[in-house]
Each structure stands twice: as C-alpha cells, then as structure tokens.
C-alpha cells in the first residue's frame, strides 16, 4: 500500500541480555522491565517527559494495582531493615534477598508515581521492533521494542485501514495504507494480529493485553464475519488454513 508516514522511534529498548546484571526480586517476573527502566533513567529529562506523556490515565486498574504493590513492598522492606540489628551478617543476607541499594531500585521507591506511569507507557504503548527477514521467509532481527509519539497513538480496529512495518535498521515504523482512506478518516492499525479470529477471541485478547473492550465496527456488529472451519481438502492434509 501507499506510504502514509515513517516515524523514527522516540526511544528503542533493546532486548535484555545475559550480561545486564541482577534484577530486583520484586521485578523478577518481568526482568525486561527493569532493563527498560535503567535505560529510561539514562535519557535526558526532555526525553523522559515525552515518554511519560504517552500515557496519562493514572487511575486505571493496572496503575492502581502496581502502585499498591510497590507501597506495600516498600513498607514491608523497611520494616525488615529496622529489625536487622538483631541478626548476624549471614542471616541478614538470607532475610534481605532484595535490599534497596542500587540507584535504579532506590529511585523507584522514591518516585513511585513516575515508575508506575513508565510501566503503563511500556505496557500499553511500546511496540515490537522486528522487521521481516530480507528473503521474506519470516521475521528478521529482533531489535527489542520502541516508543513512537505518533504511531503509538494510532487507535486499533479489527478492520484497520493501515499496517505498520519496522524498517530494516530497527529504528523506525513505516505506516502504509491497505484500503482506500477518505479525507478526514481516522488511520487505524491492528494491535494484536488476530483479525481472522472470532469476535469473542479478538475482544478477549485486546482486553488482556491492552486493557479495553473493542467497539470497532466489526466487534459492534450484530453478526460475526469470521465463522470458519479447518481445511478439509484432503483427509490426511496437514494444512493449517481455514475455510470461510
């Protein structure tokens, strides 16, 4: 399709490597997030502010849950530190498996609101940076994920009029039209890549990953246009396609 725009990433977050250092215990379920946070802290203040401006709903259920978790963790951690004097050094290490000692970790607990907002930005606005392979056989190099001030604000539709691609260098998103777009029509993309799934499945995926119930024209219609059955061309066929 025709190119609509090409946008350079506001920030690229490389995939976490084996040499990125330890992860605090309270972020162990998502070590990539701590790597992203450390990279964010190294950015100029102006870039940090532009990143945080990508998400502002700080009373959403996800933000509230993370905020409560961090406050509770901090209180419990500090309670343990106050009791440390009664233990020897070996016991202290066993009790405090995750001491608040690094600058990046300490900054989280001194600036909980900033950290919560950053996590919401990453959760809802970051996009994968993986261009197609040069020979067209599948995905190419994985450059991690990135944030874009325009592309990341495009709304979702299960009948999108645009698609986006990562450029070969992993630094830009290219938006291309896949249908006729009228003047004044909103540009939309598919967030999760499941437009061929049934409406309930699409809605469930979007709710779980993006936190909203889709009300696009397809999802809000009175019929489901994705009724289908598996390929039955041959009884022994290994085809994974579907008939509509």
Give, for 80, the enclosing helix (H) or strand (E): helix 61-82
pLDDT tens-place string over residues 30-53: 999 999 999 999 999 999 999 999
Q: Is 243 exposed, middle or buried (0-12, 13-18, 19+ CB in 10 A)?
A: exposed
pTM of the entire predicted model:
0.80
Higher pLDDT, 235 or 122: 122
Higher pLDDT, 148 or 198: 148
CB atoms within 10 A of CB 191: 21
Is 111 in contact with 40 (CB distance < 8 Å)?
A: no
Higher pLDDT, 52 or 21: 52
Band (pLDDT 50/70/90 cuts) for residue 102 is: confident
Mean pLDDT score of the chain: 85
Output Rg (C-alpha) for the chain, integer angstroms: 22
Give, for 101, the enclosing helix (H) or strand (E): none
Reduced to 3 states (helix: H, G, I; strand: E, B; else coil), residue 40 is helix
pLDDT tens-place string over residues 209-233: 888 899 999 999 888 777 666 666 6
Is 74 in contact with 98 (CB distance < 8 Å)?
A: no
pLDDT at 20: 75
Helices (H) and strands (E) in the chain, counts: 7, 10
193's torsion region: left (phi>0), alpha (psi -120 to 50) or beta?
left
Rounded to an integer, what is the distance from CA 169 to the centroid of its chain?
A: 20
pLDDT at 234: 59
Most confident region among 107-111, 131-135, 232-236, 239-243 by mean pLDDT? 107-111
Band (pLDDT 50/70/90 cuts) for residue 136 is: confident
């Amino acid at each position: 399709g025709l190119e609509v725009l090409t946008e350079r990433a506001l920030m690229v977050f490389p995939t976490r490597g084996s040499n990125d250092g330890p992860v605090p215990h309270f972020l162990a379920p998502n070590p990539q997030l701590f790597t992203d946070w450390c990279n964010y802290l190294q950015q100029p203040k102006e870039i940090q502010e532009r990143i945080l401006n990508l998400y502002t709903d700080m009373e959403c259920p996800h933000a509230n849950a993370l905020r409560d978790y961090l406050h509770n963790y901090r209180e419990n951690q500090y309670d343990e530190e106050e009791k440390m004097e009664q233990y020897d050094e070996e016991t202290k290490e066993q009790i405090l498996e995750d001491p608040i000692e690094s600058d990046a970790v300490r900054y989280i607990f001194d600036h909980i609101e900033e950290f919560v907002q950053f996590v919401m930005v990453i959760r809802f606005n970051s996009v994968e940076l993986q261009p197609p392979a040069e020979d067209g056989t599948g995905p190419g190099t994985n450059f991690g994920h990135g944030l874009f001030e325009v592309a990341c604000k495009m709304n979702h539709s299960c009948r999108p009029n645009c698609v986006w691609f990562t450029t070969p260098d992993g630094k830009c998103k290219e938006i291309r039209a896949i249908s006729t777009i009228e003047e004044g029509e909103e540009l939309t993309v598919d967030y999760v890549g499941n437009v061929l799934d049934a409406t309930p499945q699409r809605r469930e995926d979007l709710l779980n990953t993006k936190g909203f119930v889709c009300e696009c024209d397809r999802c809000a219609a009175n019929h489901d246009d994705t009724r289908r059955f598996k390929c039955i061309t041959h009884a022994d066929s290994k085809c994974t396609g579907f008939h509509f």
